[in-house]
Chain A
Amino acid sequence: MKQSALEVEQLVKEFGGLRAVAGVSLSVEAGQRRVLIGPNGAGKTTLFHCITGTLRPSLGRVSLFGRDVTYLEEYERTALGMGRTFQISNVFTELTLLENLTLAIVGTDRRKWTMLRPVRAFGSVREEALQGLEAVGLEHRAAETAQHLSYGERRQLELALALKSNPRLLLLDEPCAGLSPSERQRISRMIADLPRTTTVVMIEHDMDVALGLADRVTVLHRGSVILEGTPDEVQANPKVREVYFGHA
Chain B
Amino acid sequence: MDRSRVTVVIVVLAAALALPFYAGPFWMGLATQIIIFGLLALSVDLLLGHTGLFSLCHASFFAVAAYTTAILQVRYGTPTVFAAPAGVLAGTLLALVFGIAVRTRGVYFILITIALGFIVWGVAYRWSSFTGGDNGVTNVPFPSIGPLAVTSHLQYYYLVLAIVMLCALGYRMLVSSPFGLGLRGIKASESRMRSLGYRTALHLYVAFVLSGALASLAGVLYVYYNRFVNPVTGSFQISVEVALMAIVGGSGTIIGPFIGSGVLLGLRNWVSSFFELHAAVMGVVFIATVLWAPDGLVGLARRLRKRRTGIRKDPA
Q: List residues of chain A with CB under 8 Å of any chain B CB.
A: 52, 54, 73-75, 78-79, 83-84, 86, 90-95, 99, 102-104, 106-108, 111-120, 122, 161, 165
Contacts and interface: CB of A to CB of B under 8 A. Distances in A.
A90 B192 contact: yes
8 contacts: A75-B200, A78-B196, A103-B182, A113-B178, A113-B179, A115-B173, A118-B176, A119-B177
Contacts of B191: 54, 86, 90
Interface in B192-251: 192-200
B177 A118 contact: yes
B174 interface: yes
Given A90-B189, A114-B179, 4 more contacts: A78-B195, A93-B188, A95-B184, A117-B177
B182 A112 contact: yes
Contacts of A106: 178, 182
Contacts of A122: 178
Given A91-B189, A94-B187, A116-B173, A107 B179 contact: no
Given A75-B198, A84-B195, A165-B197, A103 B185 contact: yes
A90 B191 CA distance: 8
A116 B178 CA distance: 9
A108 B196 contact: yes
B304 interface: no
Contacts, number: 98
B188 A107 contact: no
Contacts of A92: 184-185, 188-189, 192
B195 to A, nearest CB: 5
A191 B199 CA distance: 28
A233 to B, nearest CB: 32
B177 A116 contact: yes
Given A111-B178, A112-B182, A118-B173, A95 B197 contact: no
Q: Which of A90, A92, A102, A104 has the most CB of B within 10 A?
A: A92
B184 A94 contact: yes
A91 B189 CA distance: 7
Given A102-B178, A103-B182, A74 B195 contact: yes
Interface string B147-175: 00000000000000000000000000110
B288 interface: no
A23 B176 CA distance: 47
B15 interface: no
A190 B193 CA distance: 23
Contacts of B271: none
Interface of B: 173-174, 176-182, 184-185, 187-189, 191-200
A107 B177 contact: no
A167 to B, nearest CB: 10
Nearest to B179: A115
Nearest to A90: B192
A186 B41 CA distance: 48
A112 B179 contact: yes
B179 A54 contact: no
A109 to B, nearest CB: 8
B214 to A, nearest CB: 13
Given A94-B187, A95-B185, A52 B177 contact: no
A75 B178 contact: no
A107 B56 CA distance: 30
A208 B310 CA distance: 48
A79 B189 contact: no
B188 A94 contact: yes
Nearest to A125: B178
Given A103-B185, A119-B176, A119-B177, A112 B198 contact: yes
A111 B189 CA distance: 20
A102 B188 CA distance: 14
B212 to A, nearest CB: 16
A165 B198 CA distance: 11
A115 B181 contact: no
Nearest to B187: A94
A108 B197 contact: yes
A26 B39 CA distance: 55
Given A115-B179, A116-B173, A119-B178, A161 B196 contact: yes
Nearest to B194: A74
Contacts of A114: 177-179
A103 B188 CA distance: 12
**A-B complex: 4 closest residue pairs judged by Cβ atoms:** A107-B196, A78-B197, A92-B188, A107-B197
B176 A120 contact: yes
A119 B197 CA distance: 18
A104 B196 CA distance: 6
Given A93-B188, A94-B187, A118-B173, A102 B181 contact: yes
Nearest to B184: A95
Contacts of A104: 196
Contacts of B178: 102, 106, 111-114, 117, 119, 122
Contact of A115 (B177, B185, B189, B200): B177
